Structure 1
Amino acid sequence: MKVGLVWFGDDLRSADQNILWRAMQEVDFLVCLYCMEPHHQRPSRYATQGMSENRRRFLQQGLNGLNATLAKVGQTLFVSSMDADTSLNLILNEVPISHLYRNHHGGWDEQQTLKRIENQYPDVRIQIDHGLSLFTPSQLPFNLTGLPESFSKFRRLVENVDSTTPLPSLHKLPPAPSFNIHNIMPWQHQITDNHSAFTGGEEAAMDQLSDYFSTNLPNQYKAMRNELDGWENSTKLSPWLAQGSLSARQIKASLDVYERDHGASESTYWIYFELLWREYFHWYATRYGKQLFLPGGLTGKQTQGSYYAERFRKWSQGNTPYPIVNACMKQLNETGFMSNRGRQIVASCLIYELGIDWRYGAAYFEEQLIDYNVGSNWGNWQYIAGVGADPRGGRHFNLEKQTAQYDPNQNFTHKWQGQVYDSQLDSVDAADWPIYPTSSN
């Protein structure tokens, strides 16, 4: 008797899921597991408070969707409230697991957990697939150690590589074995409110994918992608892509069909361009590991940023002297989402106007964004800070010019009340010493 374990992460779907196809072919019983990772719920060293309500709700919806899909093929999603190390050790000691299936994750912590499991359980056959990326390592025209130092070089090398055709969903999976482990329980459907424009899960992901490519919007993408607001200014697929309820290969396949039926254009290419940008940072995170989180990034250079509690709080709350920044941050806090242009603007402000260590901004995005992806988030922050893949050494945006170009009539700023802020950035006492408020209000 062979017993498999599928360790889900940022891949909450059944379609285009090779690890499920492998399990169906190789084992008699199967455990499907997701670990909630308690450290995502706790305050971090970067003054963040753990996963935001927007992120938590979107995740719960994604787990609801995956559990419902698995139930249709005779399976159950088990969810652990413990970290992955503890959860995997408990299951591997309690259940006679012969095969472990996992999609490669670019995150340093996830890679280290997998290495520890490999070392502790040499008799378990660990099957690693690549369902989180557009390409597999064997499709890349270079070894990972030779990953190009800039996105432009990477793009030129891979843009003509054919990605793998997405796999369909399965109709049946092996049943779950019987076991009883404290804090590893079958997922119970969570009732969540639907005030957000985004609903997590595979069904909503496929609806948005179909809706977007059934319009003429792909041929307008490049002209609209820098707009600060609006549902139609981008594909809006990134939250589901980050959650893994939709794969990059599924998006590419839909894009290919659209170009076949309606013709290719600069705009449709730009959708592929953005997929390649995400792909680059996936392999970037894999290649550079914990350097993704160091203050000097890949360069190792000493940065000027520090941590100013009051400035960081005002930035995160949208209460700076910069209305466009305030509007973007209030949008993020309210919705869990922000345009790509907005992200660049607020990142530049934190680093260059406020003088704060870029990692605090990256951590705040990790807390808030429903489309948080470790490689894209931390890699893009490094890019803006000049300690990563930008050959120009960072991007400092002129906030007045950005406002004039992207919000000339102040419509976005006024919608999110970005013009409402305290007149003073730093509080000082009569002797000109900084005042550090004792309250977070």
Structure 2
Amino acid sequence: MRTLYWFTRDLRLHDNASLLAASKSDMLLCLYVVDPRWFAPGPLQSKAMGDHRWRFLWQSLMALERSLRTLGQRLHIAFGEPETVIPQLAHAHSIERVVRSRLPGTQEAGQWQAIKDRLPKAVFQQFETLSLFTEGSLPMALGELPDTFSQFRKQVEKTGDRCSERLRIRTLTALPPPPGFPEDNRGDCPPIPEPVHPLQFMGGEAAGLARLQEFLYDNHSIDRYKETRNALDTWDASSKFSPWLANGCLSVREVAETITEYEASETKNESTYWLWFELLWREYFYWYALKHGANLFRRDGVQRKRRHGTLYGHRFKAWCQGNTEYPIVNAAMNQLRETGYMSNRARQLVASCFINELGLDWRYGAAWFEEQLIDYDVGSNYGNWQYLAGVGADPRGLRQFNLEKQTQQYDPTGTFIDRWGGHADQPVGLHTVDAADWPL
């Protein structure tokens, strides 16, 4: 069988059920499609792919290509729309089967269906490689996914399983040959921007696995995770696995099983449990996105609750540029803009400010995060924004953080604010309105 494997958010060889299935072929074309639409502003004013995300993704693709070459394969990187690129390649190479990992997101589902419509004779297969569990191993049907995380967690923990079994073939050692080495058009992709701030994040499978080893076995930072995870700006305070998980350089099942192995051989305490607890939050939002589809992006959310909030152009710009009246928010937004990363605690604070103090439509903030974050994940991002806006999975409704108290608790000496320039010279106040900036 002649197979096209479409890499998406699974840029790895280890624990990759989709790639393993695709490898059972006579010929295998490994493909990644860079969609030009990612780099154009969308209806919520932000792009789907900003500089930091693009740099990390490209690093991950280059690492994947190096790994594939050791197996006699290569990565065909195409710049174009998948609905056009994949049918063209399928016809050119007599492809009989198309395989990819199952993805949440309405655009991803629409693209998959469009490709199937254009290749009616081909076999199409998807496998679940982005989640702890397969749909069949969940303790509930997808349509019965609980409305809150707590209900989901209790049902999962009752089973006693932390994840579906990872593939015991940890890394593929052989792949079928490609259809020669056809030239691709990767040269048409946007240039890779230079970082404006020194980064500790490097894309790729090897880097993700190295971070897993470092956080658990080298530094034993997991032992203190529950106490340190809310720090705003310390490398080992939290796992930092999210960029590699979001791009599929690191398998979430690999992380879960490594935690279990660590607990058996090293330390088992509340902190080691809490890291798995955070993985379970990520898991919940993965299935949440699949269940709710387009409602993930609705202003009134999955709850269909009407909330105040519009787009004041000057306030939105001030928030993005770290130029508000709130130093801790400014510092976090400057960090995001310069590095593509922000701690979990900081994300909650800036989102709360966006929704409550600034009175803005949460979807614009979520779209800005999508552009900027190197660990952007559709379910986690939009699910968490809905949660904070009171239109999603939070049974308590709208949440608001006291920014002054949060500053005193998490940055009492002002170190984080000073490092990231949180004291704006001319902050934009809430009552500064230009005639061109009436709510849109």
TM-score normalised to the size of structure 2?
0.93
Cα displacement (A) at 1:24? 2.2
Q: Does residue 203 of the first structure (1) align with residue 206 of the second (2)?
A: yes
1:365 to 343, 346, 369: 369
Q: Does residue 213 of the first structure (1) align with residue 211 of the second (2)?
A: no
Amino acid in the other structure paired with 2:170? P
Matches within 5 A, 1:319-398: 319-398=323-402
Q: More displaced, 158-167 or 265-274?
A: 158-167
1:288 to 288, 292, 298: 292
Cα displacement (A) at 1:96? 1.4
Amino acid in the other structure paired with 1:38? P
5+ residue gaps, structure 2: none
Helix, strand or coil for the counterpart of 2:140?
A: coil
Cα displacement (A) at 1:127? 1.7
Alpha-carbon distance in 2 for matches of 1:182, 1:401: 54
Cα displacement (A) at 1:427? 7.0
Q: What CA RMSD, in Å, does the superposition of the two structures yield over aligned residues?
A: 2.2
Alpha-carbon distance in 1 for matches of 2:224, 2:117: 50
Contact 1:320-1:421 at 8 Å conserved across structures? no
Alpha-carbon distance in 1 for matches of 2:367, 2:31: 26
Q: Does residue 23 of the first structure (1) align with residue 22 of the second (2)?
A: yes
Alpha-carbon distance in 2 for matches of 1:332, 1:184: 28
* 1:300 alignment partner in structure 2: 304
Contact 1:42-1:49 at 8 Å conserved across structures? yes
Alpha-carbon distance in 2 for matches of 1:423, 1:361: 19
Cα displacement (A) at 1:278? 0.3
Alpha-carbon distance in 1 for matches of 2:130, 2:194: 26
Q: More displaced, 30-39 or 176-185?
A: 176-185
Alpha-carbon distance in 2 for matches of 1:185, 1:131: 29
Alpha-carbon distance in 2 for matches of 1:385, 1:181: 47
* 1:177 alignment partner in structure 2: 179
Matches within 5 A, 1:109-188: 109-159=107-157, 160-163=160-163, 164-166=165-167, 167-178=169-180, 183=185
Alpha-carbon distance in 1 for matches of 2:332, 2:210: 27
* 1:13 alignment partner in structure 2: 12
Contact 2:132-2:252 at 8 Å conserved across structures? yes
Contact 1:79-1:186 at 8 Å conserved across structures? no
Distance 1:9-1:47 versus aligned 2 partners, 3 A rule: same
Amino acid in the other structure paired with 2:68? L
Q: More displaced, 178-187 or 9-18?
A: 178-187
Stretches of 4+ moved more than 6 A in 1?
Answer: 184-187, 189-194
Contact 1:87-1:184 at 8 Å conserved across structures? no
Helix, strand or coil for the counterpart of 1:436?
A: helix
Helix, strand or coil for the counterpart of 2:77?
A: strand
Alpha-carbon distance in 2 for matches of 1:105, 1:140: 17
* 1:4 alignment partner in structure 2: 3
**Cα deviation digits, residues 122-158 of structure 1 (max 9, x gap):** 3222121111111101110111000111000111111
Contact 2:49-2:371 at 8 Å conserved across structures? yes
Contact 2:15-2:170 at 8 Å conserved across structures? yes
* 2:33 alignment partner in structure 1: 35
Cα displacement (A) at 1:94? 2.2
* 1:106 alignment partner in structure 2: 104
Distance 1:219-1:77 versus aligned 2 partners, 3 A rule: same
Amino acid in the other structure paired with 1:277? W
Alpha-carbon distance in 2 for matches of 1:186, 1:172: 30
1:72 to 25, 45, 70: 70
Cα displacement (A) at 1:411? 1.2
Cα displacement (A) at 1:263? 3.0
Contact 2:102-2:128 at 8 Å conserved across structures? yes
Contact 2:74-2:181 at 8 Å conserved across structures? no
Distance 1:396-1:186 versus aligned 2 partners, 3 A rule: closer
Cα displacement (A) at 1:72? 0.5
Cα displacement (A) at 1:183? 3.9
Helix, strand or coil for the counterpart of 1:32?
A: strand
Distance 1:50-1:373 versus aligned 2 partners, 3 A rule: closer
Contact 1:99-1:125 at 8 Å conserved across structures? yes
Alpha-carbon distance in 2 for matches of 1:230, 1:179: 44
**Cα deviation digits, residues 381-439 of structure 1 (max 9, x gap):** 000001110111121111111111111111111111102242442575xxxx63438xx
Contact 1:11-1:245 at 8 Å conserved across structures? yes
* 1:267 alignment partner in structure 2: 271
Alpha-carbon distance in 2 for matches of 1:260, 1:190: 43
Q: How many equivalent pairs are there?
A: 432
Amino acid in the other structure paired with 1:117? I
5+ residue gaps, structure 1: none
* 2:61 alignment partner in structure 1: 63
Alpha-carbon distance in 1 for matches of 2:188, 2:48: 24
Distance 1:238-1:424 versus aligned 2 partners, 3 A rule: closer
TM-score normalised to the size of structure 1?
0.93
Cα displacement (A) at 1:92? 2.3
Alpha-carbon distance in 1 for matches of 2:180, 2:193: 27
Cα displacement (A) at 1:179? 7.8
Distance 1:123-1:263 versus aligned 2 partners, 3 A rule: same
* 2:413 alignment partner in structure 1: 409
**Cα deviation digits, residues 63-103 of structure 1 (max 9, x gap):** 00000000011111011111111111212232211121111
Helix, strand or coil for the counterpart of 2:31?
A: strand
Give the fraction of aligned pairs with identical amino acids, expressed as a percent: 44
Contact 1:314-1:320 at 8 Å conserved across structures? yes
Helix, strand or coil for the counterpart of 1:111?
A: helix
1:255 to 244, 259, 281: 259
Contact 1:427-1:434 at 8 Å conserved across structures? no
Alpha-carbon distance in 2 for matches of 1:190, 1:359: 28
